[in-house]
Amino acid sequence: MQKLFSFNMMSLDGFFEGSSKWDLGWHNVDAEFNEFAIAQLNEIGTLLFGRVTYEGMAGYWSSPDALKDDPVVAGLMNQIPKIVFSKTLNKAEWNNTRLVKDHVADEISSLKQQSGKDLAVFGSANLLSELMRMSLIDEHRVMVNPVVLGSGTPLFQTKDKFNLKLLRTRMFGNGNILLYYEPDAK
């Protein structure tokens, strides 16, 4: 069986993007982070996205700049199978991407029953909250960056309460802290 984990970078005050769309310049990335990113991508059999994150990721990772600046990560992002969940998109053109318009829970439950590498959702705050409400997320990986943004888009787009159990942490030399959580049934 495959598990589904989420991975997001977050400011200390809870934002996953700054005050404007795709304001990610505050992401604290370096060689150690890049090694982590490559190792994590190698654990993933399928990436899941909501429409907004899909459009941004597809636009960046298939660009000449990404292929030049970060060829290993770009190669993996372009190679890994992807699913975009959207009721408004008519087609998904990024390499190895399939569009799913309905029956999100059924699609993910079916994928989780298969053998292979894990499923992961990056960004996609609205989709993430929907998956949390459906109890489909097995693990949250939240990388807290040592920055306070003051405003932006909150990572968790839910009004519901979710208890989490800390599994482990990893400290990075640049001040990032990666928190691994699983849902707690309390």
What confidence tens digit (pLDDT) does each residue in 66-104 have? Answer: 999 999 999 999 999 999 999 999 999 999 999 999 999
Per-residue buried b or exposed e for 26-39, using 16+ beta carbons within 10 Å of the residue's own CB: bebbeeebeebbee
In contact, 100 and 60? CB cutoff 8 Å: no
Say if residue 185's pLDDT is above 80: no
Say if residue 105's pLDDT is above 80: yes
Query: Helix-strand-coil percent breakdown of the chain, rounded to 5?
Result: 30, 30, 40
Rounded to 5°, angle at Cα 97 from 32 and 128: 65
Average pLDDT value over all residues in the chain: 94
**Rounded mean pLDDT, 39-61:** 96
Say if residue 64's pLDDT is above 80: yes
Task: Break the chain into its structural domains and give their ranges.
Answer: 4-183
Distance (Å, whole) CA 109 – CA 165: 22
The token duo for 55 is 């459009």
For residue 49, the 8-state DSSP code is E
The arrangement of secondary structure in 4-183, i.e. its CATH architecture, is 3-Layer(aba) Sandwich (3.40)
pTM of the model: 0.93
